[in-house]
Chain A
Amino acid sequence: MIKSYLKLAWKVLLRRKFFTFISLFGIAFTLVVLMLVTSLVDHVIGGHPPETRHARTVGIYYAEMRGEHWRRSQLAGYALLDKFARDLPNVEQMAIASMPASVYSYLNGQRVQSFLKRTDATFWQVLDFRFVEGAPFTAADVDGHRMVAVINESTRQRFFGGQPALGRTLEADGQRFTVVGVVPDVPILRVVPFSDIWVPVTTAKSDSYTREYVGGFMGIMLLEDPAKLAMTRDELWSRLRTAQVPEPGFESLDATPETLFDTIGRLFLGGQPGQVGYGRYLQIAFGVAAILFMLLPAVNLINLNTSRIMERASEIGVRKAFGASSRTLVGQFVIENLVLTLVGAAIGFVVSALALGAINGSGWIQYAELSLNYRIFGWGVVLAVVFSLLSGVYPAWRMSRLHPVQALKGSSR
């Protein structure tokens, strides 16, 4: 039975090629846009290597200093993290790392640009880098101000032609570093681990960073129990409340350990200090945007399906006249719509995969590794099925209840 339905559905779809094409185009296109956007978002906030302990990771990414007249908000400062965020309860380890800075090297008269991140030794324990060569720098290297560096494979390619780089030196931003390790490339949108060159934080040209409360650094924390984040947060807040702000004109310091997604939400929505959970709002905003975007394709699909069914009034009449029940007819249309939607989804899947591959290959986003998010894709397909069933099956069902004579005459009203 199902087989004959499938065959029938295929024939019907082929008969009205133009309509089929429009429906498929709409479904596939909508899914492609949905996939591209979600895979970009997932690329930024999802848990991909080297962030394998992503579910237990929070960070102090953002800090704010307020006074009566001024407010300064930026990435957290090294001094704030070092003085107040160490040994917080429920925190297994905390790493401090700078935002990658763009640096230049001169190689045979050519200028080469790379990103350079300054970190402590814990950074390599909190994040799970796979080492192609060598090993991370150690706490002794950091304490000893040693000019050592971990580089990524692209940097090894640029500086050493892909040859083994251990023990060789490279110059960046007027400083010379000895390579101690090589790791695979990390995509630029993964702001926590990303860089081309990682060096000990103590190799900075000046030690002024150790006195700054706001700016340039992030604290990456591995929690013992992510459910008890509030405990960690409250302790940090109570420490900050009693803190003396060294700069004149400023009275209070604010920083919150939270997920990167929460921080992004905070930046977008202009968050208030002492409040949490901005990621939730951002999620809602994304959801509303997605629904608004899908509104037009959905209306279009409904419109097409409705008029496609109307056209087949006489076919339904004939089937009824020969004794087909309403159930059989509805079943046939369900199968037909499912086939249409699934073919559209398959096309959407292939096109998304090709588009993501093209973006990855184009170098448009440095070292991008965009990938399909199957969960979101599944939801997109489910929505497409719901809309197409609603719009295709309901009119078919109404029509299947018409008297055969009326249906045969094609009066669908």
Chain B
Amino acid sequence: MIRHIFTLIWNRKRTNFLMMTEIFVSFLVLFAVVALGVYTADNWRRPLGYSIDRVWAVHIDMKQVSDDNFDDVQQESARQLLLALREFPEIEASAGAMLAPYQLGSSSSVYSWQGRRIAYGVAEVTDGFKDLLGLELVEGRWFGAEDDGQHYEPVVINHDMRVDLFGSAPAIGRNIANEREPGSDGPSERERRIIGVVSAYREDGEFDGMRNYAMFRKTMAGGAVGGRADADTRRRDRPPRTLLVKVRAGTTAEFEERLIKRLQAAAPDWSFEVSTLRSMRESYNGFAFAPLIAVGLVAGFLMLMVALGLFGVLWQTVTQRTREIGLRRAKGAARIDVQRQILGEIGVMTTLALAAGVLVAIQFPLLDIIYFVEPHVYAIGLAIAVTAIYLLTLACAWYPSRMATRIEPAEALRYE
């Protein structure tokens, strides 16, 4: 049967080659789009680890670009701002951070350990951050006064990073500072000691593809910390760019103007901008979603075009082969045999085209071209794309194959 189908396909090789090319190209397009969709969905379903209800973000514009240049005056202003937030009865909790959740922009670092390079997102936060966002601590402890003036730099990591780095081995107390490279004479980095693990944290929300996050403690203590202040530690002392506040239920937008006025009084040189995390989430996700929608729409139309095209060609083929099919029927082939033949031919052609397509597609995970996408995302994307193409071609062939069964032998043999 299969051999027979191959012969039939070979007999019409020019038309069939074109059809297979079309299926091959559509598969690649579909695979790319589906893999993107799976990647997004995979990120979407992972826990965020925090709640943004009633949380407002106040962005501080310090009228300078660099975060690394700051002086004691600015540090003092930042401390004053955090103190000012405590005066308001409307505010339940407050904290400072370099970047708020859902804020555009990111900061990341790499930890080389046992020959692996592990990238992680960096969050710089003050002590109030955990309660403000309702982070859930699963191991160890959160930042506190006991970290003041220590020789190490305390770090809280998320569960994903904990599993990635240490598997099931204990994580608390481990140092994630990079060791000094042999031969380099620079000062070795200060110890970064893991003191706690939170159940989850993903700064940029549902679309965030970064799995590992580490939180560093921002104190704005000023001066040298723990005796040895290296450049990285000094960066942790820089004033926060965002203040986060959790307002009490029932607080209205009217509070916003009063809040800004108070902050403006504490730091007259700076500008402030308030937004709720809800609205930031909406605009961040809208921003991330728009290109997906555009790509999805274009791919959808392409697939529709391919489907119509294949349908047209197959229909044409069946009309053209009326005599051949009629002859088969006259020689005693049942209707179902004819239908099976048509569907079998398209099935075999799809398989050949997909085989070539899959060979191309698996180069992505094999060569690790897009490093942050995990293999299982490709695997699911591949499976969905293959299934979709089979369904598409068989659906396109269904009506023409039904049409073929309606060919009457007597009529067909007279057909000119």
Is the pair B22, A300 in contact by a Cβ cutoff of 8 Å? yes
A22-B308, A29-B301, A303-B309 as given contacts; A310 in contact with B63, CB under 8 Å: no
Instruction: Say how far A22's CB is from chain B's closest CB, in angstroms.
Output: 4
A19-B312, A205-B269, A311-B320 as given contacts; A299 in contact with B18, CB under 8 Å: yes
A233–B399 Cα distance when bound, in Å, is 66
Is the pair B416, A306 in contact by a Cβ cutoff of 8 Å? no
**Which B residues are in CB contact (< 8 Å) with A101?**
61
**A318-357 interface code vs B (CB 8 A; 1 in, 0 out):** 0000000000000000000000000000000000000000
30 interchain pairs (CB within 8 A)? A26-B309, A69-B231, A70-B68, A74-B65, A77-B65, A101-B61, A106-B257, A109-B254, A173-B271, A205-B63, A205-B270, A206-B63, A212-B64, A212-B65, A212-B66, A215-B66, A247-B66, A247-B68, A249-B231, A296-B305, A299-B25, A302-B18, A303-B313, A304-B313, A306-B15, A307-B15, A307-B313, A310-B316, A409-B416, A410-B416
Partner of B273, one of A69, A104, A314: A104
**Which B residues are in CB contact (< 8 Å) with A300?**
22, 305-306, 309
**A297 part of interface (Cβ distance < 8 Å):** yes
Known: A296-B306, A304-B313. 8 other contacts (CB 8 A): A21-B308, A33-B301, A77-B65, A111-B256, A205-B270, A299-B21, A306-B18, A308-B316
Is the pair A296, B25 in contact by a Cβ cutoff of 8 Å? yes
Within 8 A of A (CB), among B342-399: none
**Which A residues are in CB contact (< 8 Å) with B416?**
314, 409-410
Cβ-closest chain B residue relative to A110: B253
**A188 part of interface (Cβ distance < 8 Å):** no
Instruction: Say how far A34's CB is from chain B's closest CB, in angstroms.
Output: 11
**Which B residues are in CB contact (< 8 Å) with A96?**
none
**Which A residues are in CB contact (< 8 Å) with B229?**
none
A389–B25 Cα distance when bound, in Å, is 21
**A174 part of interface (Cβ distance < 8 Å):** yes
Partner of A208, one of B63, B68, B257, B309: B63
Is the pair A410, B320 in contact by a Cβ cutoff of 8 Å? yes
A208–B14 Cα distance when bound, in Å, is 71
A18-B312, A310-B320, A311-B319 as given contacts; A209 in contact with B64, CB under 8 Å: yes
A306–B317 Cα distance when bound, in Å, is 11
Cβ-closest chain B residue relative to A69: B231
Is the pair A304, B309 in contact by a Cβ cutoff of 8 Å? yes
Number of A-B contacts (CB under 8 A): 109
Partner of A247, one of B21, B69, B270, B298: B69
Instruction: Say how far B12's CB is from chain A's closest CB, in angstroms.
Output: 8
Within 8 A of A (CB), among B205-237: 231
Within 8 A of B (CB), among A101-148: 101-104, 106, 109, 111
**Which A residues are in CB contact (< 8 Å) with B301?**
29, 33
Binding site for A on B (CB under 8 A): 11-12, 14-15, 18-19, 21-22, 25-26, 29, 61, 63-66, 68-69, 186, 231, 253-254, 256-257, 264, 269-271, 273, 298, 301-302, 305-306, 308-309, 312-313, 316-317, 319-320, 416
A297–B320 Cα distance when bound, in Å, is 24
**Which B residues are in CB contact (< 8 Å) with A302?**
18
Is the pair B65, A216 in contact by a Cβ cutoff of 8 Å? yes
Q: Determine the interface band of chain A, counting residues with CB < 8 A from chain B.
A: 35 or more
Partner of A215, one of B19, B65, B271, B308: B65
CB-CB nearest 9 A-B residue pairs:
A215-B65, A300-B309, A307-B316, A22-B308, A206-B63, A303-B18, A299-B22, A307-B313, A206-B269
Is the pair A209, B63 in contact by a Cβ cutoff of 8 Å? yes
**Which B residues are in CB contact (< 8 Å) with A299?**
18, 21-22, 25
Is the pair A296, B316 in contact by a Cβ cutoff of 8 Å? no
Among B21, B69, B270, B316, max chain A CB count under 10 A is at: B316
A297–B26 Cα distance when bound, in Å, is 10
**A72 part of interface (Cβ distance < 8 Å):** yes
Within 8 A of B (CB), among A51-106: 69-70, 72, 74, 77, 101-104, 106
**A260 part of interface (Cβ distance < 8 Å):** no
**A295 part of interface (Cβ distance < 8 Å):** yes
Partner of A296, one of B14, B29, B256, B273: B29
**A212-227 interface code vs B (CB 8 A; 1 in, 0 out):** 1011100000000000
**A204 part of interface (Cβ distance < 8 Å):** yes
Among A29, A212, A247, A300, max chain B CB count under 10 A is at: A300
Instruction: Say how far B323's CB is from chain A's closest CB, in angstroms.
Output: 8
**Which A residues are in CB contact (< 8 Å) with B29?**
296
A413–B306 Cα distance when bound, in Å, is 25
A77-B65, A205-B63, A311-B320 as given contacts; A174 in contact with B264, CB under 8 Å: yes
Instruction: Say how far B57's CB is from chain A's closest CB, in angstroms.
Output: 14
Is the pair B64, A303 in contact by a Cβ cutoff of 8 Å? no
**A25 part of interface (Cβ distance < 8 Å):** yes
A26-B309, A33-B298, A303-B309 as given contacts; A208 in contact with B320, CB under 8 Å: no
Within 8 A of B (CB), among A198-212: 204-206, 208-209, 212
Cβ-closest chain A residue relative to B65: A215
Cβ-closest chain A residue relative to B14: A306
A413–B269 Cα distance when bound, in Å, is 83
A310–B19 Cα distance when bound, in Å, is 15
Among B12, B253, B312, max chain A CB count under 10 A is at: B312
Instruction: Say how far A78's CB is from chain B's closest CB, in angstroms.
Output: 10
**Which A residues are in CB contact (< 8 Å) with B231?**
69, 249
Cβ-closest chain A residue relative to B26: A296
A296-B302, A299-B22 as given contacts; A208 in contact with B316, CB under 8 Å: no
**Which B residues are in CB contact (< 8 Å) with A249?**
68, 231
A249–B264 Cα distance when bound, in Å, is 33
A19–B15 Cα distance when bound, in Å, is 16
Cβ-closest chain A residue relative to B319: A311
**Which A residues are in CB contact (< 8 Å) with B308?**
21-22, 25
